[in-house]
């Protein structure tokens, strides 16, 4: 049996000193604003995994009205969601992710981000792929008011 899940997340950007993407802290003059550490990529992956397994979404598992989730490390949330999905007998075929950001340039950080995600999920790095797209200076992404991410995951079960 196979299932496909789609995850998406968007966060506002504000002044800062670093941006957390895929569990990697990237020096940057903007930061994502959110209840947790606002890692849009890990949030999109979490939603994709939970959705593919039919286990809800990140907002159900980690509600922003719960103070325990304020400033929470998104890698912890992803690991907990993956443990829940894996406990149902699912394994990851592959992840294909896209970050939507005018800046920073993702390519210099792509290998580190892929390694970090693969490590959190306990899968081979070649099962995790990452691309990035700018907003072509149009709209909230292009004007650096927001950052977004999407992920598609293939889950397999015997």
Distance CA 129, CA 125 (A): 8
CATH of the domain at 115: 3.30.1330.50
Query: What is the CB-side half-sphere exposure of residue 74 using CA atoms within 13 A?
Result: 27
Tell whether the model's pLDDT for residue 155 goes beyond 90. Answer: yes
Q: 85-98: per-residue pLDDT in tens?
A: 999 999 999 999 99
Q: What percent of the chain has pLDDT over 90?
A: 91
68-82, 103-117, 133-147: which has the minimum mean pLDDT?
A: 68-82
What pLDDT is recorded for position 69?
A: 72
Looking up tokens 């797209």 gives 133
Tell whether the model's pLDDT for residue 105 goes beyond 80. Answer: yes
What's this model's pTM, rounded to 2 decimal places? Answer: 0.96
Other beta carbons less than 10 A from residue 50's beta carbon = 23
58-62, 68-72, 82-86, 98-102: which has the minimum mean pLDDT?
A: 68-72
Structural domain span for residue 14: 2-156
With CA atoms as reference, report the closest residue to 9 among 35, 53, 47.
47
What pLDDT is recorded for position 109?
A: 98
- Count of structural domains, the chain: 1
């Amino acid at each position: 049996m196979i299932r496909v899940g789609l995850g998406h997340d968007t966060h506002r950007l504000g002044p800062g000193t670093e941006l957390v993407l895929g569990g990697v802290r990237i020096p940057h003059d903007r930061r994502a604003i959110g209840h947790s550490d606002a890692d849009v990529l890990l949030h999109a992956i979490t939603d994709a995994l939970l959705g593919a397994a039919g286990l809800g979404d990140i907002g159900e598992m980690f509600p922003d009205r719960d103070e325990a989730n304020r400033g929470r490390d998104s890698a912890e949330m992803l690991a907990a969601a993956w443990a829940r999905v894996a406990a149902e007998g699912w394994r990851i075929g592959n992840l294909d992710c896209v970050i939507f950001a005018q800046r920073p340039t993702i390519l210099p950080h792509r290998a580190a981000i892929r390694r970090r995600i693969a490590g959190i999920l306990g899968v081979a790095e070649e099962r995790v792929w990452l691309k990035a797209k700018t907003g072509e200076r149009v709209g909230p992404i292009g004007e650096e008011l927001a950052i977004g991410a999407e992920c598609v995951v293939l889950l397999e079960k015997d």
